[in-house]
Structure 1
Amino acid sequence: MFLYLNGTIVKEEEAVISPFDHGFLYGLGAFETFRVYNGHCFLLGDHINRLNLALKEMDIQYSVSMEQVKEIVQALLLKNKIQNARIRLNVSAGKAPLGLHGEAYEEPNVIVFINPLSKAGSELTEKEAILLKTPRNTPETAFRLKSHHYLNNIAGKKEMKNEPDAEGLFLTREGYMAEGLVSNIFWIKNEVLYTPDVNTGILNGITRQFVMKLAKNLKIVVVEGFFKPEELYDAEEVFLSNSIQEIVAISRVKNIASFAGAKGTITNKLFQEYQKVRERLLSITEI
């Protein structure tokens, strides 16, 4: 496969950055992962806005534009001869002296990775969830960035070593529902859609925001808050969201509770609405 590195498309095995990159040394970097459907970068504008906000928070002097990313993605699709893909747009702080750096980073490394995906399906998928013992860590700043700091997620993944196809669910240290390893979580009770508040310290996922907008357009009441796991266990439907897997129904929280899974009425309605627009929207504001 070919990737984009600082203005050039190169083979993956030929991509090189400095070992003094503070993205490598200190985890200073941010990224966005989004899906390309038949050449269309779904919700690209929202991903770019969140990335630019993270770069500003880290004092990385770089700003990504819509046209720039679209041009890079189209070049990678052409070079790799694919039309459906997973894209990771990554900006790390770049080279700087050893030690903690209190000044702005002015020479970041910009990398765009691409992986082929099969054509998006029309059927709602289903998996089970497992409640993790590993608690969700708190954000390093006032809100959680989609940054290189992923040890907490990896610790949760290691806890699930015998469950490779399930999704782990984090609680906060205070015992409130937080999010999945790579997803946000929703549940439905009495036709009301519930999801943890961003003030629990979760990532405000782009697909999370999109699902809430779809729900409101369908006149479904959406409630964000601080919820104990027992409130999730009492739900009729549960599902996860992320930019690559879209909406995934949850059949059960292992050894604790069962739900409607892929038969969930509201989950299916939201998935059907998702399918209608995934090859044309660039921003949540367009619906």
Structure 2
Amino acid sequence: MYLYLDGQYVEEKEAFISPLDHGYLYGLGLFETFRTYNGHPFLLDDHFHRLAHSAEKMGIVINNYRREDVTCIIEKLLKLNSLNDAYIRWNVAAGTGEIGLSTELYTTPRIIVYMKSLPQKTLKNKQAKTLTIRRNSPEADYRLKSHHYLNNVLGRREVGNGTDVEGIFLTEDGYLSEGVVSNLFWVKDGVVYTPDLTCGCLNGITRQFVMAVLKKKKIRVEEGKFRLQDALKADEVFVTNAIQEIIPIHIWEQCRFPGNNGGMVRLLQSDYAYWKMRLWSKNDLLLNP
């Protein structure tokens, strides 16, 4: 597989990083995961807007985002890897420095773009499992999509490698947070609920898209602190991420839900299918008449 590494396109076996990179030594690194649809990188502007804010939090100085530059890299990698569409991870590591914690800005970060083929099977439903391990506190005042992933790895180990089961984190105080690789939503009496960002969940790009769709359709959304029983009493439950899209939950704690027969899920999946080859940002959706 070919990678993009600091301006060069190299085969995976030829890609190396310095042992003094602080992305490796101290976890000072960030990434965005997204995919393409017929070559279009869905919600690319939103991914890079989040990346820029996260880099600022970490003291990593990155070049101003230019859509044309990013899409050029993606197109070249698709061609080199003989892929029509792909799973893409855009990674920013702090760069090399002395051993020891630094208070200085990182002005020469390392950019690596990974690409792999997409899963062949599309998930129609998932089972949810409440994790015993609790969601850790965010790295800053809100969660960054950073290299700090041990909590997620431990959550995945608890539920196993099957993609049809999603582990759901609770906070230390027992509030719902998010899935191991997803954001959590549920529906009750026509209102859509989701944990707010004080519950330690990532402000996922697909999460933001779903909330923009609901706002456009004038469907009420409630963000807040909720208990497990609030979700288990729901009419529908679903999870979201940028690769798997919008996936309904059909069973959780012996409670059964309509899964892909749920009306809200079908509505959102239909909108996702319509916009996935059109949108660069959720803001375009809100501005579109």
What's the counterpart of residue 160 of structure 1? 159
Residue type of the alignment partner of 2:128: A
Is 1:16 matched up with 2:16?
Answer: yes
What's the counterpart of residue 88 of structure 2? 87
Residue type of the alignment partner of 1:62: I
* Counterparts of 1:15 and 1:152, CA distance in 2: 27
* Counterparts of 2:58 and 2:157, CA distance in 1: 28
Contact 1:84 1:119 in 2 (8 A): no
What 5-or-longer segments of structure 1 have no aligned partner? none
What's the counterpart of residue 115 of structure 2? 114
Normalized against structure 1, the TM-score is what?
Answer: 0.96
* Counterparts of 2:53 and 2:284, CA distance in 1: 21
Normalized against structure 2, the TM-score is what?
Answer: 0.95
Residue type of the alignment partner of 1:75: K
* Counterparts of 2:257 and 2:85, CA distance in 1: 32
Residue type of the alignment partner of 2:152: N
Is 1:76 matched up with 2:74?
Answer: no
What's the counterpart of residue 283 of structure 1? 281
- In the TM superposition, residue 108 of structure 1 has moved relative to its aligned partner by 1.0
Matches within 5 A, 1:1-287: 1-63=1-63, 64-117=65-118, 125-161=124-160, 165-253=164-252, 255-287=253-285
Size of the alignment, in residue pairs? Answer: 284
Residue type of the alignment partner of 1:86: Y
Moved more, 277-286 or 213-222: 213-222
- In the TM superposition, residue 118 of structure 1 has moved relative to its aligned partner by 5.9
* Counterparts of 1:190 and 1:243, CA distance in 2: 27
- Give RMSD over aligned pairs: 1.5
Contact 1:233 1:256 in 2 (8 A): no
**Any idea what the Cα deviations from partners look like across 1:181-240, whole Å, max 9, x if unmatched?**
000000001011000011212110000010011112222111111000000000010000
1:266 partner SS: helix
1:19 partner SS: coil
* Counterparts of 2:112 and 2:152, CA distance in 1: 22
**Any idea what the Cα deviations from partners look like across 1:241-276, whole Å, max 9, x if unmatched?**
0000000000011x4311111110111111001100
2:103 partner SS: coil
1:125 partner SS: coil
* Counterparts of 1:90 and 1:204, CA distance in 2: 18
- In the TM superposition, residue 164 of structure 1 has moved relative to its aligned partner by 5.4
* Counterparts of 1:78 and 1:41, CA distance in 2: 15
1:77 partner SS: helix
Moved more, 183-192 or 102-111: 102-111
Moved more, 80-89 or 111-120: 111-120
Q: Quick one: percent identity of the two aligned structures?
A: 48
Contact 2:131 2:158 in 1 (8 A): yes
* Counterparts of 1:6 and 1:220, CA distance in 2: 44
